[in-house]
Amino acid sequence: MQLIDFSEARAEPITLFESMGASSVHLGDGFGEAHSYCVRFEAGGQIGPHPTGFGQLFLVVAGAGWVSGPGGTRVERSVGQGAAFARGEWHAKGSDVGMTALMIQVDELEPAAIG
């Protein structure tokens, strides 16, 4: 598991295409089949331990929760934070208070080093 901080402080200005007032955080690259989901957790909700079928970015956009990797240790995540899981990596995720996250899956994922 690689922890991700995609908060505003990490963003860089977009200068192409006559852009103004726009910024971005490069999250990674990949190839192959891809899927994206908006995942919502009620308070106390979770997705139990399982191996990923794809490389996965998991990005918190509302609320707060936790992620865990192969060792099962929970790491708290909040808005602007997330995690990247390698294909086949055992992981779980959930929330004690409620959380909404974007989940992006691709065959092979190369997350950017944005720790």
For residue 24, what is the domain's CATH number?
Answer: 2.60.120.10
Which pTM was predicted? 0.80
**pLDDT tens, position by position, 74-107:** 999 999 999 999 999 999 999 999 989 988 988 8
Element containing residue 48 per DSSP (H, E): strand 46-51
**pLDDT tens, position by position, 14-43:** 787 776 776 777 777 777 888 888 888 988
Residue located via tokens 């918190």? 60
Among 19, 18, 17, 59, residue whose Cα is nearest residue 39: 59
Q: Could you list the residue range(s) of the whole structural domain that residue 93 is in? A: 2-111
What total of structural domains would you count in the chain? 1
